[in-house]
Amino acid sequence: MAFVSTRDSSFKIILKDDFKVKPGSTFICGFHGLGEVGFLSTAHLTRALEAERVGYIKSDMLPLFVSMENEKLVLPFEIYSYQEKNMLFLVPRFQPHQSEQWSFIDHLVDWILENKVEEVLLLGGLDASFKEDEEDMRCVPTSAYKDKLEKWNVPILEEGLFVAGPLALFLAELEMRNAPGVGLLTYATRGRPDPRSAASMLQRINQVYGVEANVDQLIEESKEIERLEKMRKSIESDTDRAQDMYM
């Protein structure tokens, strides 16, 4: 039996009793899309900046998984705060269930607007096969974000290319609410996590917001993934040549 989510689905953002969202905050989030760039970038930012976990999201179709990280129980959808720069992060360790994605985003944007968030920054990946110049990033701004776009110095996504998944729903909801938000997309390798692309994303965020999120770990992870990828391709190539010899 399929589950159908409606706007009346249960959705709660549970914050610590002593935490209050400051008006004018920047809200940052990235989902599990191409190259895992959005999630890798957001999760690494919270660790590198030592952001404080201040809340959780609870919904009807919360993924039935928890895990441990740094000897602490972590939940599927967690909210972090970096008070020094008035930043909020949503770290989604899973995609919202497909049947409730629109409701999930709709309620989340309600909360963002109620708390007078100044801008929403949505992080994701873009298929590297579409890259045509030296720029490593494209952006997708809402109409209300246009006056803030100059600080990024990033070209707008070309016509004919599409954003997909929860990030697309998020941008659409912000546009319909006339709220300021921008999708930042770094070029990434399809079919595997791309920490190097996430590192590129964080370096740009460091510049724009004046933070110091160290990306060395992401670069090392990327080198290891690339090394393993080369080994796999080499083994496959050797196997193909051996097969050709006996055909």
3-state secondary structure string, the chain?
Answer: CCCCCCCCCCEEEEECCCCCCCCCCEEEEECCCHHHHHHHHHHHHHHHCCCEEEEEEEECCCCCCCEEECCEEECCEEEEEEHHHCEEEEEECCCCCHHHHHHHHHHHHHHHHHCCCCEEEEEEEEEHHHCCCCCCEEEEECHHHHHHHHHCCCCECCCCCCCCCHHHHHHHHHHHCCCCEEEEEEEECCCCCCHHHHHHHHHHHHHHHCCCCCCHHHHHHHHHHHHHHHHHHHHHHHHHHHHHHCC
Span 47-84, pLDDT tens digits: 999 999 999 999 888 888 999 988 889 999 999 999 99
Domains parsed from the chain with CATH numbers = 11-214 (3.40.50.10900)
Tell me the average pLDDT across 19-27. Answer: 95
pLDDT tens by residue, 97-150: 888 899 999 999 999 999 999 999 999 999 998 888 888 999 999 999 999 999
pLDDT(158) > 80: yes
Q: Is the pLDDT of residue 198 over 70?
A: yes
Say what the pLDDT of residue 217 is: 85
Distance spanning both ends of the chain, measured CA to CA: 49
**What integer pLDDT is reported at residue 5 of this predicted model?**
37
